[in-house]
Structure 1
Amino acid sequence: MRIARIDIFQVDLPVKGGVYRLSGGRQYTAYDATIARVTTACGRIGWGESTPFGSTYVAAHAGGTRAALYLLAPALIGMDPRLHDRLWDRMRETLRGHRDARTALDVACWDIAAQATGLPLCDMLGGRIPGPVPVISSIGGDAPDAMRAKVAAHRAQGFLGHSIKIGATEAEGGPSLDAERICACLADRQPGEWFLADANNGLTPEHALRMLALLPDGLDFVLEAPCATWAATQSLRARCRVPILLDELIQSEGDLIQAIANDTCDGVGLKVSKQGGITAMIRQRSIAASAGMVISVQDTVGSEISCATILHVAQSTPRPLLRCALDPRAMVDISVATFDAPVVAGGAEAPDLPGLGVTPDMAVLGDPVASFGG
């Protein structure tokens, strides 16, 4: 089996609700998705996606993703899509960094490999763990009552986890507003729910400590990605009374090993586009599991293709360590593919179809913006 052709598509994913706010005044109204279609000489097709969270989240942006694919895609023509480590090696040798661009190709090749064996992707990643995977919402920064209402709306849809965005500037209300947001979102907490207060690297240790001092005792939540640097995070870790989960700072296996060696956190948020696709995710999942870290399986944002990737990885992740999986479908106002995995009774389950189990809507994707191979 050999890769014969790679097509690249671009589609805008409007934000559900109109605007999504992160720490430091960052906000988005749409996400720029890059979708790859990999076709083999025998006609088998795989799909992958990379949708950076704007240009101010990590060192990635959609234009850069597609520019990198002009180098990476031709390098994979003629290779066997089932040889994941060799494909990863070829991409690394062709272009340093740019894990976001590698993601779309890596996922599409995993889709093909699973289809070729007749197995759902999760069975290729260690095996399906039966039962729905608990899903987590993503609640952008807003007024406390508005965020509380959004948590309630997602709870009514079956979400068991809630990622609530904090990181208000001093002009917006600073630590006081963030403390109010956390209290409001946890006010109606139900048994079995899990909460992340996610700063997306937007806090100083001083901000975080002031915020924590304003919170009442007994609130059950995890602080995610509080600070932008390792030094600041380590400083906060020594004085923090709540568990810390790292996200943006951990993009590679080396980053994760550093976090474990220095006891910087209690868990890790593995995101498909940020980590570099499935090949990198399952390596990092094994490292985190060996250290006893809890794992949140997510992506920066995305469509049904991203959702399918997340769900298959989560479906094969040991449940004692798995906290939640993100459903990015709930974050956008457009559908680009059919993917039959509804949220029911607190979770969603990967379909029992070969590969990812997605059927893209070509009317939405339109014509490729770039093509490589025959």
Structure 2
Amino acid sequence: MKIATIELYEVTLPYSGGVYQLSGGREYRHFDAVIVRVEADDGTEGWGESTPFGGTYIAAHARGARAGVEEIAPHLLGRDPRQTDRIYDAMDEVLVGHNHAKAAIDAACWDLFGKSVNRPVCELLGGSTGIPMATISSIYAGAPEEMRERVVEHRSRGYLGHSIKIGALDHEGGPMLDSERIRACLADRQPGEYFIADANGGLVPETAMRMLRLLPDGLDFVLEAPCSTWRETLSLRRHCTVPIILDELVMEDENLARLIALDAADGIGLKITKAGGLTPSRRQRDLCRAAGLTMSVQDTVGSDIAYAAIVHMGATVPPRLLRCILNSRDMVTLETARFDPVMRDGRVLPPDAPGLGINVNREALGAPVQAWSL
């Protein structure tokens, strides 16, 4: 089997909540998706998606992903898409870094691989645990009571995890506002729920400590990505009274190895596009497992194609280490594919269909903006 064709699509995904607000005054109304189709010489096809969270989240943006695919795609023609590690080696030889560009191609190869052997991707990644997974909401920053209402609304839809955004600057309300946001969102906490207070690197050790000291004892949450640098994170780690998980600081395998060596955190947000696709996510999953680090399997954002990859990867994480998965498609309004995971009491399992188990909506994607063929 050889890669015969690679197609590149660009799609705008409107945010379902109107305006998404992050720390530092960052706002998003839509997200630009890069979607890739890989077709083998026997006609088997696979699909993958990379949707960066704007250009101010990490060093990734949609036009950069497109340029990366353009660099890589011609060099993959004629290669066996089922040799996912070798495909990744070939991508690394052509382009250093740029994980978000490689992620879409990598996911498409896994989808194609699964279809070629009539097996779900999760089985190729090590096998599903068979334990239904809780989903996590993404509660953008706002007034405390408004955020509380959004948590209640997501709870009514079956969400057991809630990622609440914090990181107010001093002129916006600072640590006092963030502490009020956390208290409000946890006010109606139900048994079995999991809360993340996610600063997306918007705090420094001083503001983080001030915020934590304003909180009452006994609030059950973890602090995600409090600071933007390793030095700041390690400084806070020495004094922090709650568990810390990292996100933006852990992109490459060596970042995770550094976290483990320095005992810098208790877990990570494993985001597939940020890691560079399912192939590196599989390695990072195993490193976390070896070190006893917890994981929430997510992505920066994404439509149904990205969500399918999240579900398949999440299903392979041991339940004692998996906290939640992100239903990324709930964050956007455009349906790029039909994906029907198994639902049990609000929890999720991957379907038995081969590959990622998706039926792509070609009309929603439009025509490819570029294509390469043997």
What's the TM-score once normalised by structure 2's chain length? Answer: 0.99
Contact 2:5 2:39 in 1 (8 A): yes
Tell me by how many angstroms 1:128 deviates. 1.2
Contact 1:10 1:33 in 2 (8 A): yes
Residue 237 (structure 2) aligns with = 237
Determine the C-alpha separation between the residues in 2 that align with 1:148 and 1:309.
Answer: 29
Deviations 1:90-117 (A, max 9, x none): 0001000001000000000001111111
Residue 257 (structure 2) aligns with = 257
Residue 334 (structure 1) aligns with = 334
Residue 369 (structure 1) aligns with = 369
Contact 1:158 1:344 in 2 (8 A): no
Question: Any unmatched runs of 5+ in structure 2?
Answer: none
Determine the C-alpha separation between the residues in 2 that align with 1:79 and 1:211.
Answer: 53
Determine the C-alpha separation between the residues in 2 that align with 1:358 and 1:88.
Answer: 23
Of the structure 1 ranges 356-365 and 333-342, higher mean CA displacement relative to structure 2 is found in 333-342
Deviations 1:189-248 (A, max 9, x none): 000000000001111111101100100000000000000000000000001000000000
Tell me by how many angstroms 1:171 deviates. 1.6
**Secondary structure in structure 2 of the residue aligned to 1:81:** coil
Deviations 1:306-351 (A, max 9, x none): 0000000001111110011000111112211100126552311111
Determine the C-alpha separation between the residues in 1 that align with 2:67 and 2:329.
Answer: 26
What amino acid is the match of 1:113? F
**Secondary structure in structure 1 of the residue aligned to 2:172:** coil
Deviations 1:25-59 (A, max 9, x none): 10100000000000011000000000000000111
What amino acid is the match of 2:26? R
Determine the C-alpha separation between the residues in 2 that align with 1:98 and 1:363.
Answer: 29
Residue 282 (structure 2) aligns with = 282
Determine the C-alpha separation between the residues in 1 that align with 2:257 and 2:135.
Answer: 27
Determine the C-alpha separation between the residues in 2 that align with 1:346 and 1:286.
Answer: 27
Runs of 4+ in 1 over 6 A off after TM superposition: none
**Secondary structure in structure 2 of the residue aligned to 1:105:** helix
Of the structure 1 ranges 227-236 and 123-132, higher mean CA displacement relative to structure 2 is found in 123-132
Determine the C-alpha separation between the residues in 2 that align with 1:24 and 1:110.
Answer: 36
**Secondary structure in structure 2 of the residue aligned to 1:164:** strand
How does 1:118-157 map onto structure 2 within 5 Å?
Answer: 118-157=118-157
Identity %: 54
Residue 106 (structure 1) aligns with = 106
Determine the C-alpha separation between the residues in 1 that align with 2:322 and 2:331.
Answer: 21
- CA shift in 2, pair 1:153/1:264, >3 Å: same
**Secondary structure in structure 1 of the residue aligned to 2:134:** strand
Question: Any unmatched runs of 5+ in structure 1?
Answer: none
Residue 71 (structure 2) aligns with = 71
Contact 1:136 1:163 in 2 (8 A): yes
Deviations 1:126-179 (A, max 9, x none): 111113211101111011111111111111111110000001111211111110
Contact 1:2 1:81 in 2 (8 A): yes
Tell me how large the CA RMSD over aligned residues is: 0.9
Residue 199 (structure 1) aligns with = 199
**Secondary structure in structure 1 of the residue aligned to 2:345:** coil
Determine the C-alpha separation between the residues in 2 that align with 1:272 and 1:354.
Answer: 20
**Secondary structure in structure 2 of the residue aligned to 1:316:** coil
Contact 2:208 2:226 in 1 (8 A): yes
Contact 2:245 2:267 in 1 (8 A): yes
- CA shift in 2, pair 1:128/1:342, >3 Å: closer
- CA shift in 2, pair 1:342/1:18, >3 Å: farther
What's the TM-score once normalised by structure 1's chain length? Answer: 0.99
Residue 175 (structure 2) aligns with = 175
Tell me by how many angstroms 1:249 deviates. 0.2
Residue 3 (structure 2) aligns with = 3
Residue 320 (structure 2) aligns with = 320
- CA shift in 2, pair 1:342/1:150, >3 Å: farther
Contact 1:158 1:343 in 2 (8 A): no
Q: How many residue pairs get matched? A: 374
Determine the C-alpha separation between the residues in 2 that align with 1:142 and 1:345.
Answer: 30
